[in-house]
Amino acid sequence: MDVTELWDAAPGWLNTASYGLPPRPAFEELQAVLTDWRHGATDWKPWDASVGRARAAFARLVSAPVADVSVSSTVSQIMSVVATALPPGARVVVPEIEFTSNLFPWAVAARVEPVPADRLAEAVTRGTAAVAFSLVQSATGYVTPLADVVAAAREHDALVVVDASQACGWLPVEVAGVDVLACAAYKWLMAPRGAAFAYLSPRVRERMRPLAANWYGGADEGGSYYGPPLRLAGDARAFDLSPAWFSFVGAAPAIELLNELGVERVRDHDVALANRFLTGLGLPPSDSAIVSVDAPGERLAAAGIRAAVRAGKVRASFHLYTTRDDVDRALDALT
C-alpha cells in the first residue's frame, strides 16, 4: 500500500516543521471521542488511557524505559523545570540560532553562552553545567552530531538537554547518553497541539523538583485527588502535567503508526523528497527533512504550495504524506 493513502493531505503541504497532518486512524479516533464528549456518552477514563498509550509509544520511539518518560503540554514547560534545577549562574552552552522554547528557560535561570551550532561539542568545557540544543534546527534543518556532543559533555560532567521536536518522527532517535529529551508532538509526530513528552534520566531527576506537582503525578493513580500528605510517583510521572486528554487521544495512534512503519523508513522517504527538491534547485543534497533555501516564497504561495519563511529564507519540510508531485509542483513554481 502507498503509505500516503493513510492521510487526506491537500496537495502542496510542505510545512510539517510548523505542524503535522494526522493520519486517518488518529483523526477518526479523535472524532469519535469528541462525539462522546459532545453527548456525555462516556467517562473520561477511556480518554486518559490514551495518555498511557502515547507515553508507551513515545518511549518505544526513542528507546527509553516507560518509567523515564513524563507527559506535558509544551517544551518550554519541560525545559523550565530542568533549568531551575541548575545552580544560580550556571553556564549553559546553546546554539546561536535556537528556538526560544529551548533558550528562554535557560536565559531566565542560568547564564547562556551562544556558539555556532557546529561548534557545540568543542564549546563544552570544564565548568559547563549543561549543553542545550535542538537535535534538528527548525530554521535551517541542521542535524546536530549528537554523539560528539554527548562525548564532550560526559568528559566534563555536563548535562545533555535535547529538544527533539523537529527530529522525533522522521529521524531515528535514541536517548542513550542524553539527560533530557523533550518533544512537542504536534509536528513530526502528527498529534494535536497540547501533547508533549520528556525523557528525564534518573540522574537528572535527582536534581529536579516537581514544580508543577499535581494529582496526575500521584504515586497512586486515581487516588491522589484530595488531601495530604504529598505522595508523588517515584519515577518520571512525578513531573507529569495533568494532560490535555484530546491531544493525547490523537497522539497515541499517530505515534503507534510511526513505530509500526519504522522511523528508518520514514527518514528515507522524507530525506529523498527533500533532496529531490534541492537537486531541482541546483543545490547539493542534505541529510535532513527540513531545507532552507533562498527562493521567492510568494511564487510558492501563488501556486498553492504551503511552506514557511524563517530567517528570511523559504523553509520547506517533507513528511510521510508528501509526494513527488508536491515536490515537482513546488519546483515548477520556483523555476
- 182 within a domain of the structure (yes/no): yes
* 112 and 248 housed in the same domain: yes
- State phi, psi for 52 to the nearest 5 degrees: -65, -40
Q: pLDDT at position 297, please?
A: 87
Cell digits of residue 204:
537528572
The pLDDT, as a whole number, for residue 193 is: 98
Same domain (yes/no): 12, 118:
no
pLDDT recorded at residue 335:
87
**Structural domain span for residue 62:** 45-259
| CATH number of the domain residue 201 falls in | 3.40.640.10
267 in a structural domain: yes
Number of domains in the chain: 2
Average pLDDT over every residue of 142-162: 97
pLDDT of residue 310: 82
The 10 Å Cβ neighbour count of residue 84 is 15
Q: Quick one: pLDDT at residue 129?
A: 97
- In the three-class reduction of DSSP (H, G, I as helix; E, B as strand; rest coil), residue 287 is classed as coil
Does residue 269 share a domain with residue 250? no
Arithmetic mean of pLDDT, 218-241: 93
Tell whether 131 and 184 lie within a shared domain: yes
pLDDT average, residue stretch 172-191: 98
How much of the chain exceeds pLDDT 90, in percent?
94
Q: Is residue 32 part of a domain?
A: no
Would you say residue 251 has pLDDT above 60? yes
Are residues 82 and 227 located together in one domain of the fold? yes
pLDDT digits (tens, 9 = 90+) for 79-104: 999 999 999 899 999 999 999 999 99
Residues of the chain above pLDDT 70, percent: 100
Is 303 contained in some domain? Answer: yes
Is 219 found in the same domain as 153? yes
Q: Please say which residue of 217, 242, 259 terminates a domain.
A: 259
Selected residue with higher pLDDT from 2 and 114: 114
Mean of all residue pLDDT scores within the chain: 96
Residue at 40 is within a domain: no
Indicate if 11 and 121 belong to the same structural domain: no
Q: Cell 559547563 belongs to which residue?
A: 128
Is residue 116 in some structural domain?
yes
Which of these, 219, 242, 244, lies nearest to 229 by C-alpha position?
219
Residues 271 and 239 in one domain: no
Task: Show which of 259, 291, 318 is a domain's final residue.
Answer: 259
Residues ≥6 apart with Cβ < 8 Å to 12 = 303, 304, 305, 306, 326, 329, 330
59 and 161, same domain (yes or no): yes
Burial class (CB within 10 angstroms; exposed 0-12, middle 13-18, buried 19+) of 280? middle
Least confident range of 40-49, 135-144, 218-227: 218-227
Reply yes or no: is the peptide bond before residue 229 cis, omega within 30 of 0: yes
Out of 259, 284, 302, pick the residue that ends a domain: 259
| Gap between the Cα atoms of 80 and 89, Å rounded | 15
Q: What is the CATH number of the domain that holds 284?
A: 3.90.1150.10
| pLDDT at residue 266, rounded to an integer | 98
Residue 5 has what pLDDT?
Answer: 87
Q: Does residue 30 carry a pLDDT above 60?
A: yes
Same domain, 272 and 323: yes
Q: Is residue 28 part of a domain?
A: no
Instruction: Kindly tell me if the per-residue pLDDT of 1 is higher than 70.
Output: no
Whether 128 and 248 share a structural domain: yes
CA dist., res. 106 & res. 168, Å (int): 22
Q: Name the band, by pLDDT with cuts 50, 70 and 90, for residue 41.
A: very high
Residues 211-218: what's their mean pLDDT? 96
Answer whether residue 138 is part of any domain.
yes
Given pLDDT bands bounded at 50, 70 and 90, which one contains residue 66?
very high
| pLDDT above 80 (res 311) | no
Q: State the pLDDT confidence band at 254, using cuts at 50, 70 and 90.
A: very high
DSSP 89-146: T-EEEEESS--GGGTHHHHHHSEEEEE-GGGHHHH--TTEEEEEEESB-TTT-PBP-H
Q: Are residue 242 and residue 185 in the same domain, yes or no?
A: yes
